[in-house]
Amino acid sequence: QVQLVESGGGLVQAGGSLRLSCKASERLIKTYAVGWFRQAPGKERQFVAAISWRGGSTVYADSVKGRFNISKDNAQTTVSLQMNGLRPEDTSVYYCAALLSTSDPQKSAAYDYWGQGTQVTVSS
Give the pLDDT score at 29: 74
* CA 84/CA 69 separation, integer angstroms: 8
Q: Tens-digit pLDDT profile for the chain (124 aa)?
A: 889 999 999 999 999 999 999 999 888 777 889 999 999 999 999 999 999 988 889 999 999 999 999 999 877 789 999 999 999 999 999 999 999 988 899 999 999 999 999 999 999 9
* CA 124/CA 31 separation, integer angstroms: 37
Give, as one character, the DSSP assignment of residue 69. E
* CA 98/CA 46 separation, integer angstroms: 15
